[in-house]
């Protein structure tokens, strides 16, 4: 325990050395920090990123119109109308996901600054992306992965991703669920002197800007206009943040950006008991809600992924709906893709039915699939862990108890989350974490960080005061 406390006490010092970023340069001494200056001075321009990614065979992925799914949406729509559904096929990147965009910039940065290797703490596709890019640049790579419960049982999707990392030559260190992931990551960074290929650095998040930039350009080239809505699967927030920033840089300032997560309400992500009672390892509420309401819980002092800054709406879908949509995509469009992107596709299928036929909704990513990601593997594993698999109304699904596959595609539903509640929670977390009453610059920052107004922030602070919470 003393060793744990000792390492954790030095986390900022270790991170600074492993990133080369002095976050204090952007601090104000309070809640506020200069986000845009941090993104500009520690990142790269979008033109530089495009060049970096092209040289690494990343990006410029196809935009595919899902004509059969659009037709189905119109058939089941109450109005008979539905927007045209497009999907950005990020599975075409070298490691098979959009995460390659952020990894490409991080690994380029590490190589440029003389690091001999890189470390990523992740159970997801990002580890494979970092391993792939490190292999191209001749850097050593360690992936620290939260894999097992206390019985030594691993979730099939996580095991699949671990195999993918090893395929690219990475050393994969697999841990049980709990607080040791961050601790082991810090120890390895200190011992090796390797670069911290965090998901949440300015250059990592900026790497995703090209995704939004390409979507805007490709949709306009194909249809003569920018998309009306882009739906991003939301977990840690980098996906949505980078895509939204890229859309704006391409001029698509009126495009709405929606987040989508799998509803795993009631399951605790750090619980040994709940670890294998979920069938999705990312893109779910266990990450989506906490990272929206407190982004600086990340492994860097100030997170570059700040989803509430850019989110115009946030929707939840059920596990059974995503599995069903995965099968629809394969059998109607001939595309076998993994579960994360199909989370936003399930939401988009529902949201399209609330739009007009001449409108455009884009699902901004797909991911590779594999044995452990296949719905059959996931559903079999769920049954082995006592989860009932049912066919019926997805509204009856209870995370950790059952998975309900829809009886009919008309039952797929995007359930809206009240963003005002999340914004209030974020402001409360900021005030309580820093232990100060927000000053004028803090209030301005919080208004920007929640895409709200200074009046809204002041009202929340007043409510906190009246409730005795500050």
The per-residue pLDDT for range 280-319, each reduced to its tens digit, is 988 999 999 999 999 998 888 899 999 999 999 999 999 9
Between residues 181 and 1, which one has the greater pLDDT? 181
- DSSP state, residue 454: H
Residue % of the chain over a pLDDT of 90: 86
pTM of the predicted structure, to 2 decimals: 0.96
- Is 288 found in the same domain as 274? yes
Q: What is the pLDDT of residue 206?
A: 95
In the prediction, which pLDDT does 373 show? 92
421 domain residue, yes or no: no
User: 136-152, pLDDT tens digit by residue?
Assistant: 999 999 999 999 999 99
Same domain, 175 and 270: no
Q: How far is CA 296 from the centre of its chain?
A: 15
Instruction: Among 158, 175, 200, identify where a domain stops.
Output: 200
Q: What angle do CA 311, 414, 393 make, to 5 degrees?
A: 160
The Cβ of residue 454 has, within 10 Å, a number of other Cβ atoms equal to 13
Residue 271 sits in the same domain as residue 182: no
Q: Is 324 part of a structural domain of the chain?
A: yes
Contact 209, 246 (CB under 8 A): yes
CATH number at residue 44: 3.40.50.1100
Distances (CA, A) of 309 to 231, 242, 243, 315, 361: 15, 11, 12, 16, 21
Residue 228 lies in a domain: yes
Mean pLDDT of the chain: 95
Q: Is 125 contained in some domain?
A: yes
Question: In 181-286, at which residue ranges do the beta strands (DSSP E only) sit?
Answer: 195-196, 229-233, 256-262
Burial of 306 (0-12, 13-18, 19+ CB in 10 A): buried
**In contact, 421 and 457? CB cutoff 8 Å:** no
Statement: residue 163 has pLDDT above 80: yes
Q: In the chain, what is the straight-line distance between the N-terminal and C-terminal CA atoms, in Å? A: 32
pLDDT at 13: 85
Provide the total of helices (H) and of strands (E) in the chain, helices listed first: 19, 13
The mean pLDDT of 194-218, rounded to a whole number, is 96
The residue from 416, 439, 458 where one domain ends is 416
Residue 435 has pLDDT above 70, yes or no: yes
Task: Give phi and psi for 18, each to the nearest 5.
Answer: -85, -5
Q: Does the structure show a pLDDT above 90 at 344?
A: yes
Same domain, 89 and 107: no
Q: Which residue in 144, 139, 93, 95 sits closest to 118, CA to CA?
A: 139
Among candidate residues 231, 195, 228, the one with its CA nearest the CA of residue 211: 231
Does 317 lie in the same domain as 298?
yes
Do 182 and 240 sit in the same domain of this protein?
A: no
pLDDT at 469: 63
**pLDDT tier, 320 (very low <50, low <70, confident <90, very high otherwise):** very high
Least confident piece of the model among 116-125, 212-221, 424-433: 116-125
The three-class DSSP label of residue 105 is helix
- Model pLDDT, residue 97: 97
Q: Report yes or no: 226 and 361 within 8 Å, Cβ to Cβ.
A: no
Report whether pLDDT(335) > 60: yes
Sign of CA dihedral 82, 452, 29, 34: positive
Banded pLDDT at 182 (limits 50, 70, 90) = confident
Residue 433: inside a domain, yes or no?
Answer: yes
Q: How confident is the model at residue 11 (pLDDT cuts 50, 70, 90)?
A: confident
Structural domain includes residue 262:
yes
| Count of the separate structural domains present in the chain | 3
371/124: higher pLDDT: 371
Residue 1 clears pLDDT 60, i.e. is over it: no
Looking at the structure, tell me whether residues 113 and 220 fall in a common domain.
no
Residue 190 has pLDDT above 60, yes or no: yes
Residue 132 sits in the same domain as residue 84: no
In a domain, 60, yes or no: yes
Residue 275 has pLDDT above 70, yes or no: yes
Domain limits at 252? 55-95+205-416
Residues 91 and 152 in one domain: no
Do 298 and 242 belong to one domain? yes
pLDDT (0 to 100) of residue 4 = 82
Model pLDDT, residue 417: 98
Please tell me whether residues 39 and 25 are part of one structural domain. yes
Which of residues 152, 180, 200 is at a domain's end? Answer: 200
Instruction: List alpha helices for 224-268, DSSP H.
Output: 238-249
Q: In this structure, is residue 394 part of a structural domain?
A: yes
pLDDT in tens, 370-400: 889 999 999 999 999 999 999 999 999 999 9
Q: Are residues 266 and 336 in the same domain?
A: yes
């Amino acid at each position: 325990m003393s060793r744990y406390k000792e390492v954790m006490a030095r986390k900022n010092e270790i991170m600074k050395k492993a990133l080369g970023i002095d976050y204090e340069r952007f601090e104000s001494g309070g809640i506020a920090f200069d986000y845009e200056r941090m993104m500009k001075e520690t990142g790269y321009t979008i033109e530089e990123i495009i060049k970096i990614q092209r040289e690494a065979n990343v990006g410029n992925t196809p935009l595919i119109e899902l004509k059969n799914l659009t037709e189905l949406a119109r058939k089941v729509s109450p109005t008979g109308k539905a927007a045209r559904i497009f999907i950005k096929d990020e599975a075409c990147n070298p490691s098979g996901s959009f995460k390659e965009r952020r990894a490409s910039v991080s690994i380029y940065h590490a190589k440029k600054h003389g690091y001999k290797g890189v470390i990523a703490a992740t159970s997801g596709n990002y580890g494979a992306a970092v391993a792939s890019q490190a292999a191209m640049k001749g850097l050593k790579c360690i992936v620290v992965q939260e894999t097992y419960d206390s019985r030594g049982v691993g979730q099939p999707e996580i095991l699949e991703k671990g195999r993918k990392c090893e395929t690219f030559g990475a050393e994969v260190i697999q841990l049980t669920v709990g607080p040791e992931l961050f601790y082991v990551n810090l120890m390895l960074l200190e011992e090796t002197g390797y670069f911290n290929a965090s998901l949440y650095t300015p250059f990592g998040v900026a790497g995703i800007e090209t995704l939004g930039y390409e979507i805007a350009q490709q949709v306009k080239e194909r249809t003569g206009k920018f998309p009306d809505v882009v739906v991003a699967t939301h977990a840690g927030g980098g996906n949505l943040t980078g895509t939204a920033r890229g859309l704006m840089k391409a001029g698509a300032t009126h495009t709405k950006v929606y987040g989508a997560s799998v509803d795993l309400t009631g399951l605790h992500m750090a619980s040994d008991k709940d670890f294998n009672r979920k069938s999705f390892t990312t893109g779910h509420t266990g990450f989506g809600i906490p990272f929206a309401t407190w982004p600086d819980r990340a492994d860097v002092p100030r997170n570059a992924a700040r989803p509430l800054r850019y989110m115009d709406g946030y929707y939840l879908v059920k596990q059974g709906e995503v599995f069903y949509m995965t099968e629809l995509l394969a059998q109607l469009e001939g595309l076998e893709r993994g579960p994360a992107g199909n989370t936003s596709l399930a939401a988009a299928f529902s949201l399209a039915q609330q739009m007009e036929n001449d409108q455009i909704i884009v699902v901004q990513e797909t991911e590779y699939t594999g044995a452990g990601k296949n719905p059959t593997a996931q559903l079999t594993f769920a049954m082995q862990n006592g989860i009932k698999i049912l066919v019926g109304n997805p509204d009856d699904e209870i995370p950790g108890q059952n998975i309900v596959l829809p009886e009919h595609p008309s039952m797929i539903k995007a359930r809206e989350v009240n963003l005002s509640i999340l914004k209030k929670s974020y402001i409360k977390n900021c005030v309580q974490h820093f232990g100060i009453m927000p000053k004028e610059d803090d209030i301005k920052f919080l208004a920007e960080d929640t895409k709200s107004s200074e009046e809204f922030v002041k009202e929340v602070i007043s409510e906190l005061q009246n409730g005795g919470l500050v």
